[in-house]
Amino acid sequence: MKVLVPVKRVIDANLKPRVKADGSGIDLTNTKMSMNPFDEIAVEEALRLKEAGTASEIVLVSIGPAQAQETIRTGLAMGADRGILVQADGPVEPLAVAKILKAVAEQEAPGLVVLGKQAIDDDCNQTGQMLAALLGWPQGTFASKIEIAGGRIKVTREVDGGLQVVDLAMPAVVTTDLRLNQPRYASLPNIMKAKKKPIDMKTAADFGVDTRPRLEVIETKEPPKRQAGVKVASVADLVDKLKNEAGVL
Ligand code: AMP
Protein backbone atom coordinates (compact mmCIF):
# COMPACT_ATOMS: atom_id res chain seq x y z
CA MET A 1 0.00 0.00 0.00
CA LYS A 2 1.19 3.48 -0.89
CA VAL A 3 0.78 6.30 1.65
CA LEU A 4 0.54 9.90 0.46
CA VAL A 5 1.59 12.55 2.99
CA PRO A 6 1.01 16.24 2.17
CA VAL A 7 3.58 18.42 3.97
CA LYS A 8 3.35 22.19 4.24
CA ARG A 9 6.21 24.68 4.65
CA VAL A 10 5.23 27.04 7.45
CA ILE A 11 6.84 29.54 9.84
CA ASP A 12 8.84 27.59 12.45
CA ALA A 13 6.62 26.72 15.42
CA ASN A 14 9.15 28.12 17.92
CA LEU A 15 9.10 31.62 16.45
CA LYS A 16 6.80 34.48 17.37
CA PRO A 17 5.27 35.78 14.12
CA ARG A 18 5.77 39.49 13.33
CA VAL A 19 2.84 41.37 11.86
CA LYS A 20 3.79 43.61 8.90
CA ALA A 21 3.75 47.31 9.71
CA ASP A 22 0.83 47.93 7.31
CA GLY A 23 -1.21 45.07 8.85
CA SER A 24 -1.39 43.25 5.50
CA GLY A 25 -0.13 39.94 6.92
CA ILE A 26 2.80 38.22 8.64
CA ASP A 27 6.33 39.34 7.78
CA LEU A 28 8.25 36.25 6.66
CA THR A 29 11.48 37.94 5.50
CA ASN A 30 14.54 36.19 6.97
CA THR A 31 12.25 33.92 8.98
CA LYS A 32 13.08 30.27 9.68
CA MET A 33 10.56 28.02 7.92
CA SER A 34 9.95 24.36 8.83
CA MET A 35 7.62 21.47 8.16
CA ASN A 36 4.21 21.98 9.76
CA PRO A 37 4.44 20.04 13.09
CA PHE A 38 1.25 18.04 12.45
CA ASP A 39 2.72 16.96 9.10
CA GLU A 40 5.84 15.65 10.89
CA ILE A 41 3.45 13.48 12.89
CA ALA A 42 1.84 12.34 9.61
CA VAL A 43 5.25 11.40 8.14
CA GLU A 44 6.16 9.54 11.35
CA GLU A 45 2.92 7.56 11.24
CA ALA A 46 3.50 6.60 7.60
CA LEU A 47 7.05 5.48 8.50
CA ARG A 48 5.69 3.29 11.30
CA LEU A 49 3.23 1.72 8.85
CA LYS A 50 6.13 0.98 6.49
CA GLU A 51 8.25 -0.46 9.29
CA ALA A 52 5.31 -2.69 10.30
CA GLY A 53 5.08 -3.97 6.70
CA THR A 54 1.66 -2.36 6.14
CA ALA A 55 2.87 0.39 3.80
CA SER A 56 5.25 -0.19 0.89
CA GLU A 57 5.97 3.37 -0.27
CA ILE A 58 5.67 6.84 1.25
CA VAL A 59 5.20 9.75 -1.14
CA LEU A 60 5.39 13.33 0.14
CA VAL A 61 3.68 16.20 -1.65
CA SER A 62 4.03 19.90 -0.98
CA ILE A 63 2.34 22.83 -2.66
CA GLY A 64 4.37 25.98 -2.31
CA PRO A 65 7.44 27.94 -3.45
CA ALA A 66 10.68 26.33 -4.70
CA GLN A 67 12.00 26.39 -1.11
CA ALA A 68 9.31 23.87 -0.14
CA GLN A 69 11.77 21.33 -1.60
CA GLU A 70 13.61 21.68 1.73
CA THR A 71 10.43 20.70 3.56
CA ILE A 72 10.14 17.62 1.35
CA ARG A 73 13.84 16.83 1.93
CA THR A 74 13.22 16.94 5.69
CA GLY A 75 10.55 14.24 5.30
CA LEU A 76 12.77 12.23 2.93
CA ALA A 77 15.54 12.39 5.57
CA MET A 78 13.07 11.02 8.14
CA GLY A 79 12.66 8.03 5.79
CA ALA A 80 9.98 8.78 3.14
CA ASP A 81 10.72 7.45 -0.36
CA ARG A 82 10.09 10.28 -2.82
CA GLY A 83 8.51 13.68 -3.17
CA ILE A 84 6.36 15.82 -5.44
CA LEU A 85 6.62 19.60 -5.34
CA VAL A 86 3.70 21.47 -6.90
CA GLN A 87 5.23 24.89 -7.34
CA ALA A 88 3.03 27.86 -6.53
CA ASP A 89 4.09 31.30 -5.39
CA GLY A 90 1.98 33.20 -2.89
CA PRO A 91 -0.60 31.73 -0.54
CA VAL A 92 -2.66 28.77 -1.77
CA GLU A 93 -5.96 28.36 0.06
CA PRO A 94 -7.19 24.98 1.39
CA LEU A 95 -9.72 24.45 -1.43
CA ALA A 96 -7.06 24.85 -4.14
CA VAL A 97 -4.64 22.67 -2.12
CA ALA A 98 -7.35 20.00 -1.78
CA LYS A 99 -8.07 20.11 -5.54
CA ILE A 100 -4.36 19.63 -6.32
CA LEU A 101 -4.09 16.82 -3.74
CA LYS A 102 -7.15 15.15 -5.28
CA ALA A 103 -5.43 15.13 -8.69
CA VAL A 104 -2.21 13.77 -7.13
CA ALA A 105 -4.17 11.09 -5.25
CA GLU A 106 -5.89 10.06 -8.48
CA GLN A 107 -2.50 9.69 -10.20
CA GLU A 108 -0.73 7.96 -7.33
CA ALA A 109 -3.63 5.79 -6.10
CA PRO A 110 -2.57 5.59 -2.43
CA GLY A 111 -4.42 3.40 0.08
CA LEU A 112 -4.17 6.19 2.61
CA VAL A 113 -3.61 9.95 2.66
CA VAL A 114 -2.34 11.23 6.02
CA LEU A 115 -2.45 15.00 6.51
CA GLY A 116 -1.94 17.22 9.54
CA LYS A 117 -5.14 18.30 11.27
CA GLN A 118 -4.16 21.90 10.63
CA ALA A 119 -1.34 24.05 9.37
CA ILE A 120 -0.05 26.27 12.18
CA ASP A 121 0.27 29.35 9.97
CA ASP A 122 -3.38 29.89 9.01
CA ASP A 123 -4.99 27.36 11.42
CA CYS A 124 -7.56 26.51 8.72
CA ASN A 125 -8.21 22.85 9.62
CA GLN A 126 -9.98 22.37 6.27
CA THR A 127 -7.75 20.65 3.73
CA GLY A 128 -8.16 17.02 4.87
CA GLN A 129 -11.92 17.35 5.10
CA MET A 130 -12.17 19.03 1.67
CA LEU A 131 -9.89 16.41 0.11
CA ALA A 132 -12.00 13.54 1.47
CA ALA A 133 -15.16 15.21 0.14
CA LEU A 134 -13.65 15.85 -3.31
CA LEU A 135 -12.37 12.27 -3.59
CA GLY A 136 -15.54 10.78 -2.11
CA TRP A 137 -13.36 8.85 0.39
CA PRO A 138 -14.10 8.26 4.09
CA GLN A 139 -12.27 10.49 6.57
CA GLY A 140 -10.99 10.07 10.13
CA THR A 141 -9.89 13.45 11.46
CA PHE A 142 -7.91 14.34 14.65
CA ALA A 143 -6.43 10.83 14.90
CA SER A 144 -4.68 9.79 18.11
CA LYS A 145 -4.40 6.11 17.05
CA ILE A 146 -4.81 4.16 13.82
CA GLU A 147 -5.06 0.42 13.20
CA ILE A 148 -5.18 -1.12 9.72
CA ALA A 149 -6.52 -4.62 9.02
CA GLY A 150 -8.38 -6.33 6.20
CA GLY A 151 -8.59 -3.27 3.93
CA ARG A 152 -10.12 -1.14 6.69
CA ILE A 153 -8.72 1.45 9.06
CA LYS A 154 -9.85 2.08 12.63
CA VAL A 155 -9.20 5.67 13.61
CA THR A 156 -9.42 6.82 17.23
CA ARG A 157 -10.44 10.46 17.08
CA GLU A 158 -9.86 13.12 19.72
CA VAL A 159 -13.22 14.82 20.09
CA ASP A 160 -14.52 17.25 22.71
CA GLY A 161 -14.95 15.36 25.95
CA GLY A 162 -13.36 12.04 24.93
CA LEU A 163 -12.38 9.66 22.17
CA GLN A 164 -14.42 8.35 19.25
CA VAL A 165 -13.47 5.31 17.16
CA VAL A 166 -14.49 5.20 13.50
CA ASP A 167 -14.01 2.19 11.23
CA LEU A 168 -13.39 3.25 7.61
CA ALA A 169 -13.12 1.44 4.29
CA MET A 170 -9.88 2.24 2.48
CA PRO A 171 -8.71 4.23 0.58
CA ALA A 172 -9.27 6.85 3.25
CA VAL A 173 -8.13 10.25 4.46
CA VAL A 174 -6.75 10.64 7.99
CA THR A 175 -5.65 13.81 9.76
CA THR A 176 -3.23 13.69 12.68
CA ASP A 177 -3.63 15.05 16.18
CA LEU A 178 -0.77 15.76 18.60
CA ARG A 179 -0.94 12.53 20.57
CA LEU A 180 -0.71 10.16 17.58
CA ASN A 181 3.07 9.80 17.95
CA GLN A 182 6.36 11.53 18.67
CA PRO A 183 8.13 12.21 15.34
CA ARG A 184 11.73 11.01 15.00
CA TYR A 185 14.75 13.14 14.19
CA ALA A 186 16.53 12.42 10.92
CA SER A 187 19.92 10.72 11.37
CA LEU A 188 22.98 12.06 9.54
CA PRO A 189 23.24 9.04 7.16
CA ASN A 190 19.55 9.44 6.32
CA ILE A 191 20.02 13.18 5.65
CA MET A 192 22.79 12.23 3.18
CA LYS A 193 20.64 9.51 1.58
CA ALA A 194 17.72 11.94 1.24
CA LYS A 195 19.75 14.17 -1.08
CA LYS A 196 19.56 11.44 -3.73
CA LYS A 197 15.85 10.69 -3.38
CA PRO A 198 13.74 11.99 -6.29
CA ILE A 199 11.47 15.06 -6.12
CA ASP A 200 9.12 15.44 -9.07
CA MET A 201 8.54 19.09 -10.02
CA LYS A 202 5.00 20.11 -11.08
CA THR A 203 2.86 23.22 -11.24
CA ALA A 204 -0.78 23.79 -10.31
CA ALA A 205 -1.49 24.28 -14.03
CA ASP A 206 -0.33 20.69 -14.67
CA PHE A 207 -3.39 19.63 -12.64
CA GLY A 208 -5.68 22.31 -14.13
CA VAL A 209 -6.20 23.99 -10.75
CA ASP A 210 -6.65 27.74 -10.41
CA THR A 211 -4.83 28.82 -7.23
CA ARG A 212 -5.97 32.46 -7.25
CA PRO A 213 -7.20 33.40 -3.74
CA ARG A 214 -10.93 33.54 -3.09
CA LEU A 215 -10.55 35.14 0.31
CA GLU A 216 -9.42 38.67 0.99
CA VAL A 217 -7.48 39.31 4.20
CA ILE A 218 -8.84 42.57 5.58
CA GLU A 219 -6.42 43.07 8.44
CA THR A 220 -3.86 41.19 10.54
CA LYS A 221 -3.35 42.42 14.11
CA GLU A 222 -1.17 41.48 17.08
CA PRO A 223 -3.23 40.04 19.96
CA PRO A 224 -3.92 42.71 22.62
CA LYS A 225 -1.14 43.09 25.19
CA ARG A 226 -1.90 41.44 28.53
CA GLN A 227 -2.66 43.81 31.38
CA ALA A 228 -0.25 43.78 34.32
CA GLY A 229 -1.44 41.72 37.32
CA VAL A 230 -2.00 42.97 40.88
CA LYS A 231 -0.98 41.44 44.19
CA VAL A 232 -3.82 41.02 46.67
CA ALA A 233 -3.28 41.29 50.41
CA SER A 234 -5.72 38.59 51.54
CA VAL A 235 -8.13 35.90 50.39
CA ALA A 236 -11.02 38.24 51.23
CA ASP A 237 -9.47 40.83 48.92
CA LEU A 238 -9.13 38.24 46.16
CA VAL A 239 -12.75 37.13 46.49
CA ASP A 240 -13.87 40.75 46.47
CA LYS A 241 -11.92 41.47 43.26
CA LEU A 242 -13.17 38.31 41.56
CA LYS A 243 -16.73 39.27 42.48
CA ASN A 244 -16.74 43.00 41.90
CA GLU A 245 -13.98 43.67 39.35
CA ALA A 246 -13.63 40.51 37.27
CA GLY A 247 -17.30 39.57 37.67
CA VAL A 248 -16.47 35.85 37.57
CA LEU A 249 -18.06 34.85 40.89
P1 AMP B 1 -5.06 23.43 6.79
O2 AMP B 1 -6.38 22.93 6.32
O3 AMP B 1 -4.52 24.56 5.93
O4 AMP B 1 -5.05 23.77 8.25
O5 AMP B 1 -3.99 22.26 6.57
C6 AMP B 1 -4.23 20.92 7.01
C7 AMP B 1 -3.20 19.98 6.39
O8 AMP B 1 -3.32 20.00 4.97
C9 AMP B 1 -1.74 20.31 6.67
O10 AMP B 1 -1.33 19.82 7.93
C11 AMP B 1 -1.05 19.59 5.50
O12 AMP B 1 -0.97 18.20 5.76
C13 AMP B 1 -2.05 19.81 4.37
N14 AMP B 1 -1.69 21.03 3.60
C15 AMP B 1 -2.25 22.26 3.71
N16 AMP B 1 -1.65 23.12 2.87
C17 AMP B 1 -0.67 22.43 2.22
C18 AMP B 1 0.30 22.75 1.22
N19 AMP B 1 0.41 23.97 0.71
N20 AMP B 1 1.13 21.75 0.80
C21 AMP B 1 1.02 20.51 1.31
N22 AMP B 1 0.13 20.14 2.25
C23 AMP B 1 -0.72 21.09 2.69
Answer yes or no: is pLDDT of 233 > 90: yes
Ligand 1 in reach of 3 Cβ (< 6 A): no
In the chain, what are the domains? 2-244 (3.40.50.620)
Structure confidence at residue 249 as a pLDDT band (50, 70, 90): confident
Single-letter residue type at 194 = A
Angstrom distance (rounded) from CA 210 to CA 35: 24
8 A C-beta contact, residue 180 and residue 114: no
Q: What's the pLDDT band for 209 if we cut at 50, 70, 90?
A: very high
Quick one: which atom of ligand 1 is closest to the CA of 68?
20
CA of 12 to the centre of ligand 1 (A): 15
Model confidence at 119, pLDDT cuts 50, 70, 90, reads very high
| Mutate which of 4, 5, 89, 127 for ligand 1 pocket (most atoms within 8 A of beta carbon) | 127
**Residue 227 clears pLDDT 90, i.e. is over it:** no
Backbone angles phi, psi at 159, to 5 degrees: -120, 165
Average pLDDT of every residue of the chain: 96
Pairwise pLDDT comparison (228 vs 50), residue with the higher score = 50
Pocket of ligand 1 contains residue 116 by CB under 6 Å? yes
Residue 182 near residue 169 (C-beta atoms within 8 A): no
**Protein residue with least CA distance to atom 17, ligand 1:** 8
Alpha helices in 24-93 (DSSP H): 37-51, 68-78
Q: What is the CA radius of gyration of the chain?
A: 21
**Has residue 14 got a pLDDT over 90?**
yes
Task: Count other Cβ atoms within 10 Å, centred on residue 110.
Answer: 23
Atom 9 in ligand 1: residue holding the nearest Cα: 116
For residue 116, which of 175, 201, 35, 198 has the smallest C-alpha distance? 175
52-96 pLDDT, tens per residue? 999 999 999 999 999 999 999 999 999 999 999 999 988 999 999
pLDDT of residue 240: 95
CB 111 within 8 A of CB 170: yes
Helix (H, G, I), strand (E, B) or coil at 145: strand
Q: Is the pTM of this model over 0.75?
A: yes
Nearest CA to ligand 1 atom 6: 118
How confident is residue 143, by pLDDT bands cut at 50, 70 and 90? very high
> Over the stretch 146-165, which tens digit does the pLDDT of each residue have?
999 999 999 999 999 999 99
> 80-98 as b/e, with b when 16 or more CB fall inside 10 Å?
bbebbbbbbeeebbbbbbb
Bridge partners (DSSP) of residue 159 are: 162
**Among 134-143, 164-173, 187-196, 224-233, the least confident range:** 224-233
